[in-house]
Amino acid sequence: MEKTLSIVKPDGVKKNLIGEVIKRFEQQGLRVAALKMIHLTEEGAKGFYIVHRQRPFYESLTRFMSEGPIVVMMVEGEKAISIVREIMGATNPKDAAPGTIRADFAADIEHNIVHGSDSQESAEFEISYFFSSLEIH
Ligand code: CDP
Ligand code: MG
């Protein structure tokens, strides 16, 4: 059983895709074990994306991630990390496989609707960034 952290980003919330994202996870046999809607400050977004602090897109990304509410969730299941990333599609919607969330809904490489942890190590950091043990069911 694997755990991963997913986010419906501000563009996904604005486009009314909260249910669509959750439905696709559930249809692949994944279970939502923790969930909440929050509005990150820019500092909060910077802390979450700290691994990208040297990248040229860091400022723009963290401004975008704090421009409106997001839905954060912990999702669990067998191979949850790679399954969530498959359902999401490639970072750039131009490269995303047909039928993935990003191919279907993302506007561009930054505004790409959804986040999913890329490894067990980042999943642990990201889950604890948003959820206490009492919020995980
Ligand atoms: O989200 P994912 O793991 O697919 O990509 P990442 O390389 O970890 O980048 C994190 C996020 O930064 C992406 O989802 C995009 O929103 C944004 N990004 C960007 O704006 N420009 C890039 N060249 C790469 C990523
Ligand atoms: Mg990533």
pLDDT value at residue 89: 98
Cα dihedral across residues 124, 7, 76, 78: positive or negative: negative
> What string of H, E and C letters represents the secondary structure of the chain?
CEEEEEEECHHHHHCCCHHHHHHHHHHCCCEEEEEEEECCCHHHHHHHCHHHCCCCCHHHHHHHHCCCCEEEEEEEECCHHHHHHHHHCCCCCCCCCCCCHHHHHCCCCCCCCEEECCCHHHHHHHHHHHCCHHHCC
**What's the CA-to-centroid distance between 80 and ligand 2, angstroms?**
15
pLDDT value at residue 52: 98
pLDDT value at residue 124: 98
Catalytic residues: 115
Q: Is the CB of 115 under 6 A from ligand 1?
A: yes
Q: Max Cα separation, the chain?
A: 39
Say if CB 61 and CB 49 are below 8 A apart: yes
Judged by its nearest atom, the ligand closest to the C-alpha of residue 125 is 2
- Residuewise pLDDT in 10s, the chain (137 residues): 999 999 999 999 999 999 999 999 999 999 999 999 999 999 999 999 999 999 999 999 999 999 999 999 999 999 999 999 999 999 999 999 999 999 999 999 999 999 999 999 999 999 999 999 999 99
* pTM tops 0.95, yes or no: yes
Which atom of ligand 1 lies at the shortest distance from residue 85's CA? 4
pLDDT value at residue 98: 98
pLDDT value at residue 46: 98
Instruction: Return the CA Rg of the chain.
Output: 14
**What's the CA-to-centroid distance between 6 and ligand 2, angstroms?**
11
**What's the CA-to-centroid distance between 50 and ligand 2, angstroms?**
11
Q: Is the CB of 118 under 6 A from ligand 1?
A: yes
82, 112, 114: residue to mutate for ligand 1 pocket, most atoms within 8 A of CB: 112
**Tens digits of residue pLDDT in 24-51:** 999 999 999 999 999 999 999 999 999 9
- pLDDT above 70: percentage of residues in the chain: 100
pLDDT value at residue 135: 98
